[in-house]
Amino acid sequence: MTESVARSRSLADEAAALDAADPLAGKRAEFDLDDAVAYFDGNSLGAPPKHVAQRLTEVVREQWGGRLIRSWNDGWWDAPQRIGDRIAPLVGAAAGQVVVADSTTVDLFKTLVAAVRANPGRDEILVDAGTFPTDGYVADQVARLTGHALRRVPVAELADAVSERTAAVLVNHVDYVSGRLHDMPSVTDAVQAAGAFAVWDLCHSVGAIPVRLDECAVDFAVGCTYKFLNGGPGSPAFVYVAQRHQAEFDQPLAGWAGHADPFAMEDGYRGSAGIARARAGTPDMLSMLALDAALDVWDGVDLAVLRAKGLALGDFFFQCLDELLPGAEVPTPRDHARGHQISVCDPGGQQTMDALHRQGVLGDFRPPDVLRFGLAPLYTTYGEVLRAVTTLHGLR
């Protein structure tokens, strides 16, 4: 037996033992996954829970088809707040502070404009230098429309960069390329100590790690639902507005859904009380209710257990790399200051990821040379981690 085969067998035994002891192992059966595929792209598009298709059929046939227009009064109109309250525990928020509405991009725009409007007399917005492109694009346009200057600053330097000029700071909780987890409590404290508002992008952390918005006294946050929350392609995003800021949340998209009395058809706009004022247009009910169904898989899930498994999956990924691909360049932190993805630099880039796809290992690629492997604790197995690294090893 060669040394390489012996290492692989040892890792296979370890993976089998870890999977057998996994407290979340039963959750995988709730997802519609092909066992021939090892899925590592839940950080871009989560896998579908099995029951969502049937629930949507009921929505189309019984609610849309049966109740027709009456469905708006049967629960559709209030769904954004109701589903927001289902997401609230996943982001460490009390009820009444999260609403599901619009896309991540639209929610970022609404929230960042509201943040700078709530902090007059300051002429600057900061955004983390490694931000997801959409965040940067939106921040550029908000600065342009509001007359603010925009500065891009590495997260590690934000505490020194924020000043009495800064109205708001937009930060990604988890870096989308490296998977690095940024320190929400310390960054928020530094931003607020300078009198600025902290706006957090939770797209790569919600549903992956425990988020503690209330505990960290975060001002505003946005997040998507189609990644680790498994809401489906294009499922609506959410906005968090801390209770203390809701009365002053003056967002720029004054649509009828955020009106204090939407069916009064008044000429002038009056913002709704509470979190509903973060709404804008008519909600996309099919996507909204698909998300509502998908959130059922979170019932009874202990987020501490979820986090422990996500970190353990990452640790095992590193172990497999060390034994099968020693010397691989990995920008993801080895310590636990990371989200639930492992990024591996590979000179083959997209060609390597395409080859992995052909062998049933589905991750994704980010330029110039980063292969990303998302680890969704509700359904990713240790055996799949080994398969990913073994397949990558075979391509080198």
Q: Catalytic residues, which ones?
A: 132, 201, 226-227, 372
Neighbours of 352 (CB within 10 A): 19
Instruction: Tell me how far apart the alpha carbons of residues 254 and 279 are, in angstroms, rounded to a whole number.
Output: 8
Quote the tokens at residue 119. Answer: 């902090």
Instruction: Tell me how far apart the alpha carbons of residues 70 and 50 are, in angstroms, rounded to a whole number.
Output: 28
Type and span of the H or E element at 191: helix 184-193
Kindly list the distances between the CA atom of residue 249 and the CA atoms of 150, 218, 274, in Å, as whole numbers in the listed order.
21, 14, 9
Neighbours of 26 (CB within 10 A): 9
Task: Give the strand pairing for 197-201 and 220-223.
Answer: parallel
Quote the tokens at residue 347. Answer: 């000179």
Identify whether the C-beta of residue 374 lies closer than 8 Å to the C-beta of residue 314: no
* Tokens 């970190």 sit on residue: 311
Q: How far is CA 138 from the centre of its chain?
A: 17
Total length of the chain: 396
Instruction: Tell me how far apart the alpha carbons of residues 246 and 237 are, in angstroms, rounded to a whole number.
Output: 18
